[in-house]
Amino acid sequence: MRIGVLTGGGDCPGLNAVIRAVVRKGVSVYGHEFVGFRDGWRGPLEGDTMPLDIQAVRGILPRGGTILGSSRTNPIKIEGGVDRIKDNLAATGVDALIAIGGEDTLGVARQLSERGVNVVGVPKTIDNDLSGTDYTFGFDTAVNIATEAIDRLHTTAESHHRALICEVMGRHAGWIALHAGLAGGANVILIPEKPFDIDLVCEYVESRFRTRYSPIIVVAEGAHPIEGTMAVQTGELDAFGHVRLGGIGEVLAKEIEKRTGKEARTTVLGHIQRGGTPTAFDRVLATRFGLQAIDAAHDGDFGKMVALRGTDIVRVGLDEATAELKTVPPARYAEAEVFFG
């Protein structure tokens, strides 16, 4: 078989580990050939390819980013996009595609699969918000980076008696904020799933100062106040219709300063959470996903996404995998609330 591989959407640590596993097993065990498509769906849309053999994947296991490049190109939104992809796959002699991506990339994979393209999906996102898999690779790395940042913020916050706000990624799901906030001993964690009460946040801040300890507030970029209680800003949309986020931490700092009279400052971790080398957990998960993905392609088991269930790697339908976002359940948030204030 000749198999195309692409990485789409926001990058995350572990993408290269998947590509390496797919190619290593595909070539050495099954004797397949590979072609890399550059920059997510833009690659097959424009027929932009690169060689992908064992030599090309040497040394990339610990490397962040993706050797294939990525983009948020949405071929479904482009007139004749699906047909162009089908024509380009035929022209490059590609029998099947392995698409590594999050909800948007895999949503496109599902639609292509429904229109006759042979696709296997691999879930990636630092957000860990894909239903169908217990964990996505990239999440553990992002949580570790955010936890280290929170640890460092604690010591400087205490020296200066400041409230420090740490804004982490998480558009619709607060998994990074929840895990990093719990691991880092945050004073309060704010997530998109639960609109926050600014009065209560300020109470937590003040109670932490009363114990002569400085509060660290961990806020997911998609968190928002209960409607009408605080002004927030909105930004422009991307090709999948998502607002560009970032800024809630700054808004929160101003409000906390105004209401408590304490100095409050914000650190936005942003893309630092997505860059650099993956943790050992993410390298292993990504490698196991890659091995299962090439097995599925070899078996002709298309329209599937590989997934982690417990400690097993299984295959689930792309429709099931992309049906809904996996958000933080109230009971998980309640565990963290025990430590607020």
Catalytic positions, written as ranges: 127
Nearer to ligand F6P, 242 or 265 (CB): 242
- Residue 282 binds to ligand F6P (criterion: CB under 6 A): no
Q: Closest approach of Cβ 225 to ligand F6P, in Å?
A: 19
Nearer to ligand F6P, 250 or 257 (CB): 250
Q: Closest approach of Cβ 223 to ligand F6P, in Å?
A: 12
Task: Give the span between the Cα atoms of 22 and 249, in whole angstroms.
Answer: 39
Nearer to ligand F6P, 117 or 173 (CB): 173
Q: Is the Cβ–Cβ distance between 313 and 123 less than 8 Å?
A: no
- Residue 107 binds to ligand F6P (criterion: CB under 6 A): no
Give the one residue of 245, 251, 286, 291 binding ligand F6P; rule: CB under 6 A.
245
Q: How far is CA 279 from CA 101, 137, 138, 142, in A?
A: 19, 9, 8, 9
Task: Give the span between the Cα atoms of 316 and 130, in whole angstroms.
Answer: 12
> Rounded to 5 degrees, what are φ and ψ at 10?
-60, 135
The first and second tokens of residue 281, run together, are 């957990």
Task: Give the span between the Cα atoms of 304 and 227, in whole angstroms.
Answer: 39
Give the one residue of 4, 8, 10, 81 binding ligand F6P; rule: CB under 6 A.
10
Q: Binding to ligand F6P (CB under 6 A): which residues in 160-189?
A: 169-171
Q: How many CB atoms lie within 10 A of CB 56?
A: 17
Nearer to ligand F6P, 23 or 245 (CB): 245
- Residue 8 binds to ligand F6P (criterion: CB under 6 A): no
Task: Give the span between the Cα atoms of 162 and 214, in whole angstroms.
Answer: 6
- Residue 274 binds to ligand F6P (criterion: CB under 6 A): yes
Q: What is the DSSP string of 193-244?
A: TS-B-HHHHHHHHHHHHHTT---EEEEETT--BSTTSS------B-TTSPBP
Nearer to ligand F6P, 106 or 306 (CB): 106
> Rounded to 5 degrees, what are φ and ψ at 109?
-60, -40
Nearer to ligand F6P, 108 or 169 (CB): 169
Q: Closest approach of Cβ 169 to ligand F6P, in Å?
A: 3
Residues 87-106: x where in contact with ligand F6P by CB under 6 A, - otherwise, as a string: ---------------x----
- Residue 208 binds to ligand F6P (criterion: CB under 6 A): no
Q: Closest approach of Cβ 277 to ligand F6P, in Å?
A: 17
Q: Is the Cβ–Cβ distance between 18 and 290 less than 8 Å?
A: yes
Q: Closest approach of Cβ 37 to ligand F6P, in Å?
A: 19
Q: Closest approach of Cβ 170 to ligand F6P, in Å?
A: 6
| DSSP class of 56 | G
Q: How many of the chain's residues bind ligand F6P (CB under 6 A)?
A: 12
Task: Print burial letters for 306-336: b (CB count within 10 Å at least 16), e (below 16).
Answer: bbbeeeebebbebeebbeeebbbeeebbeeb
Nearer to ligand F6P, 10 or 303 (CB): 10
- Residue 20 binds to ligand F6P (criterion: CB under 6 A): no
Q: Closest approach of Cβ 248 to ligand F6P, in Å?
A: 12
Q: Is the Cβ–Cβ distance between 213 and 158 less than 8 Å?
A: yes
Task: Give the span between the Cα atoms of 71 and 130, in whole angstroms.
Answer: 19
Residues 116-145: x where in contact with ligand F6P by CB under 6 A, - otherwise, as a string: ---------xxx------------------
Provide the binding-site residues for ligand F6P, judged by CB under 6 A. Answer: 10, 102, 125-127, 169-171, 221, 244-245, 274
